[in-house]
Amino acid sequence: MTMTVVVAIGALAQVDAALSHFWLGRGYYNPAAAGELSAIHLNLGSRMQWVDFKRAPMNFFITADMPYKLLGQRLGVGVRAEYERMGLYSNTRIGGQIAYKKRLGRNMMVSVGVQPGVFSQTFRGHERIIVEEAESDPAIPEQDVSGTAFDANVGVFFSHPKLWAGLSVTHVTSPRIEMKISRESENDYYEFKVSRGYNFMAGGNIPINNTLFEIQPSAMFYATQKFWTAQVATMIRYNRTLNIGAGYRWKDAVTAFIGINLKDAYIGYAYDYPLSPINKATFGSHEVFVTYNVKLDNREKNKNKQKSVRLM
């Protein structure tokens, strides 16, 4: 049996979405952020990039996490699921998160977390366009192929009521996804290597004295082997309800934000206007982000129960 091994795409591809709401999606990049709040914390996000392009990148993800105590130890547990479509590629990532948390002083917490999971990819070869005059490229499959590999993220996270920061490594094992086409006389193999990513995020909350305003600046740096980007954002919150802000992604886009707090929920929208020459072909990108918290009662139960006087 003849076997042909072909690399479908190089190792330099970026597969982590460049979220404009990165400061809200801390658990998306860093598993150590799981259990940061005393609540069941749910995030839903959708990013539609360069909407005027055919087969433009589209991303949808969900994360959920909560604090948990086991044998007297503070933990954070969570899950993350994501679907991404970009060109002829579709990526699905699913993982579970667990973080060990240690309190430093009264209001400070440091966490170490890990997220094991799977990375699944599909290439829709039947949708490829072949120019009749051009020869078929053997490095590009002519039919649909897919594969799955183990994937993992790790990170550390620090939180304080007025400051937070995190450092994480995504796709630690640089997984190789092998995709196969079986034929009568041979098997064709295609390989996709996922780049390891390095991420640093930090942000804060600065109340303005004697007003109902708060300033919430944040920054993120993301890098792979041969690619890096940085972005900053500043939100202004009024009366803990209305949020407006602006951001900048290095040599890529400027962003406008608007959001509203509804008791235990937050609904936010971001619009990215590209700064590169690509703005001649697209008007921009859109992102919607929703969070919802279910409060938990972490108070110790009263071991010395007392009967009501009326029932005695």
**Cβ burial 274-306 (10 Å sphere, 16+ → b, else e):** beeeeeeeeebbebebbbbbeeeeeeeeeeeee
Among 226, 221, 269, 268, CA closest to 249:
221
Q: What is the mean pLDDT of each run of 10 residues along the chain (312 residues)?
A: 47 71 94 94 93 84 94 93 88 96 89 96 72 55 82 96 95 88 69 90 94 96 91 96 96 96 94 90 92 79 46 39
What is the pLDDT at residue 311?
40
Helix ranges (DSSP H) in 148-284: none
Tokens of 74: 């503070």
What is the pLDDT at residue 5?
47
Distance CA 282, CA 170 (A): 30
Strands of 186-193's sheet in order across: 2-9, 186-193, 176-182
What is the pLDDT at residue 136?
58
Dihedral angle sign, alpha carbons of residues 19, 23, 27, 32: positive
Contact 186, 162 (CB under 8 A): no
What is the pLDDT at residue 187?
66
Domains of the chain: 16-311 (2.40.160)
The vertex-164 CA angle with 268 and 41, nearest 5°, equals 50
